[in-house]
Amino acid sequence: MKDDLAEAKRIFRLEGEALRKVGDKLDENFVKAVELLLNCKGRIIITGMGKSGLIGKKIASTFSSTGTPAFFLNAAEAKHGDLGIVTSDDLVIAISYSGTTEEVVSLLPYFKRFGVKVIAITGKLDSPLAKSADVTLDVGVEKEACPLGIVPTSSATATLVMGDALASALLRRRNFKREDFAILHPGGTLGKKLLLRVRDLMHSGYEHPMVNHRVTLKEAIFEMTSKGLGITSVIDDEGKLVGVVTDGDLRRILEKKTEVLELPVSQVMTKNPKTIKEETLAAEALRVMEDFSITALIVVDKENHPYATIHLHDILKAGIA
Q: In this predicted model, what pLDDT tens digit does every residue of 263-316 receive, in sequence order?
A: 889 888 999 999 999 999 888 898 899 999 999 999 999 999 999 999 999 888
Residue type, 48: G
Interatomic CA distance for residues 259 and 246, integer angstroms: 18
Identify the structural domains of the chain with CATH numbers, from first to last.
2-176 (3.40.50.10490), 195-317 (3.10.580.10)
Q: In this predicted model, what pLDDT tens digit does every residue of 12-37 receive, in sequence order?
A: 999 999 999 999 999 999 999 999 99
Interatomic CA distance for residues 220 and 262, integer angstroms: 10
Sheet of strand 44-48, all strands in order from the earlier edge strand to the far edge: 70-74, 44-48, 91-95, 117-122, 135-138
Q: Residue 129 in contact with residue 138, Cβ under 8 Å? A: no
- pLDDT at res. 260: 77
Share of the chain above pLDDT 70, in %: 91
Sign of the Cα torsion 183, 186, 189, 195 reads positive
- pLDDT at res. 278: 92
Interatomic CA distance for residues 39 and 34, integer angstroms: 9
- pLDDT at res. 258: 67
pTM of the model: 0.63
- pLDDT at res. 159: 96
Neighbours of 283 (CB within 10 A): 19
Looking at the predicted structure, is the pLDDT value of residue 181 above 70? no
